[in-house]
Amino acid sequence: MPILNSIAAAAEHLAIWRRDFHRFPELGYEEYRTSKVIAEKLRGFGFDDVQEGIGQTGLVGVLHGREGPGDEAKAVMLRADMDALPIREETGVAYASENDGIMHACGHDGHTTMLLGAAEHLAETRAFDGTVYFCFQPAEENGGGADAMIKDGLFERFPCRAVYGMHNQPGLPVGQFSTAVGPILAACDEFFITITGLGGHAAEPHDCRDPIVCAAAVVQSLQSIAARRIAPRDPCVVSVTQFHGGDANNVIPQTVKLSGTVRAFDEDVYRAIYAEMERIVGQVCAAHDCTGVVDGGHVYYPPTVNDAAETAFCVEVAREVAGDNAVSDALPISMGAEDFSFYALKKPACFVMIGNGDSALLHHPKYDFDDAATPWGASFFTRLVERALPLT
Ligand SMILES: [Zn+2]
Ligand SMILES: [Zn+2]
C-alpha cells in the first residue's frame, strides 16, 4: 500500500502549510504564531479537544475514534516539534524566512506539517478505535520542550500506552524510512568553562596571567578525553564550540569563557567525561597560574532508546506504506540528540527517520525540508494509528 490517496490529494495544500511555517520560523518557547496556526487547523478539522499552553507554547489535539474515547490502553500519542534555529537562511527559496536570523534548518516545519496531514485525514475518517493525542512540542533544539510538557502533566492529562515521533534525514531518499531497536541517538549536554587570569597591558605580559594562552591549552587538552581516556568501544564526543575573550588588541583580558557539548550513550561514560574535564581544567589552569571553573548539566537530554516491540511495529507500518525495500531496521547510531528521549523514558516509544533526499545537512543555512516527503510521513502516521487502534 503506497501513499494514501486522500493524503496524495492533500499534498498540494500540505506544501502550502509547510512553506507558511517555513516563512515564519520561531525559536524555542516562542512558537506563538506556529502553535496558534496549528490549534486553528486542528479545531477546523473538528478535533474533540485542543489544549494549548502546555510546556509554555506546546499544544495537544485530542481525537477520538468512531467508538468514542479510549482509555490509556486504547490511546497513543504522535509527536512533532515546532521550533526553528538561530541561523540566517541562505536557501534563496520564495518562501524563505521573514524572521531575520531565524530559520527552519532542522525541518521541524515539515514534521509539524506531516502530523497535521495525518490529523486532517484521521479527523475525517476516524477509522480507529480509541484516542489519538497529537502532541506539538516547543523547544526541541536546546530547551528540552519535551521535558517541559511532561513536567506540565502531559501523560496525566493525556494517558496513552505508546509515543511515536519522526525526524527527517538528509541523505536518505524521499519515500524511505529507517529506525532501529535500542539506543539510536546519544545523550547530550552543554558545558561552560570560565578561566580567570590577571588582565593587564599587552606589552607587559609578564605582569599578567594570560587566560587566552591558558584557554588555548585547555581546549587542546580536552581533546584527549575522547581520544585517550574513554574506551574506544564507548562512543563519545567532547566539542568546544565557543571561545570568547578579550575586547582590545592591546589588553590581556581578565577572563575567557569556553563552552561546548558532550555526547555519549552511557551514564558512566558521561560521569567519566565530566570528572576528566574537571581534572584537566583544574590542572592546566594551575600550570598557567590561572583558575578554571566547569559548569555543566544545564540542558541534559538522555539517549533516545527505541522500544523493541514498538520499533518492530513501526517497521511493519513503514513497510506497508513505503514497501519492504524502502525501510531499514538497522539505522546506525548517531551522536546527534533528541529530546524525544524524554517521552521514551516514560512510555514505550519509537523514533523513526524519514528520507529528506539529497538536501543540505540539518542545521545548514541552505537546508530545506522536502515537501515530497510530507505525504509519506502523513501516510505513515495515519496507518500507524489505524493499526495500533484497529476498528473491530
Ligand atoms: Zn535540530
Ligand atoms: Zn530536529
Q: Which ligand number lies closest to the CA of residue 108?
A: 2
Cell of 99: 524572521
Q: Ligand 1 center to residue 392 CA distance, Å?
A: 40
**Which percentage of the chain shows pLDDT scores above 70?**
99
C-alpha 107 – ligand 2 centre gap (Å): 6
Which bound ligand lies closest to the C-alpha atom of 340? 2
Under 8 Å CB-to-CB from 389, ≥6 apart: which residues?
A: 65, 70, 74, 75, 76, 128, 129, 130, 131, 132
**Structural domain boundaries of the chain?**
5-185+303-388, 187-296
> Per-residue confidence at 175, pLDDT binned at 50, 70, 90?
very high
Q: Distance between CA 122 and CA 118 in Å, rounded?
A: 6
Cα 310 to averaged position of ligand 2 atoms, centre (Å): 21
- pLDDT, one tens digit per residue, over 281-317 is 999 999 999 999 999 877 789 999 999 999 999 999 9
DSSP class per residue in 151-170 = HTTHHHHS--SEEEEEEEET
- Å from CA of 151 to ligand 2 middle: 21
Q: Return the CATH architecture of domain 187-296.
A: 2-Layer Sandwich (3.30)
Residue 319 region by backbone torsions, left for phi larger than 0, else alpha for psi between -120 and 50, else beta: alpha
Distance 150 CA to ligand 1 centre (A): 20
Ligand nearest to the CA of 353: 2
CA 180–ligand 2 middle distance (angstroms):
18
pLDDT-derived band at 41, boundaries 50, 70, 90: very high
At 171, give phi and psi (nearest 5°): 95, -25
Contact 312/348 with Cβ under 8 angstroms? Answer: no
If you ran DSSP here, which 8-state letter would residue 227 be given? Answer: I
pTM of the predicted model as reported, rounded to 2 decimal places = 0.91
Does 5-185+303-388 match 187-296 in CATH topology? Answer: no
Q: Residue 1 pLDDT more than 70?
A: no
Q: What is the pLDDT of residues 48-97, one digit of tens each?
A: 999 999 999 999 999 999 999 999 999 999 999 999 999 999 999 999 99
**Does 5-185+303-388 carry CATH code 3.40.630.10?**
yes
Across-strand partners of 68? 65
Q: What is the Å distance from ligand 2's center to 167 Cα?
A: 6
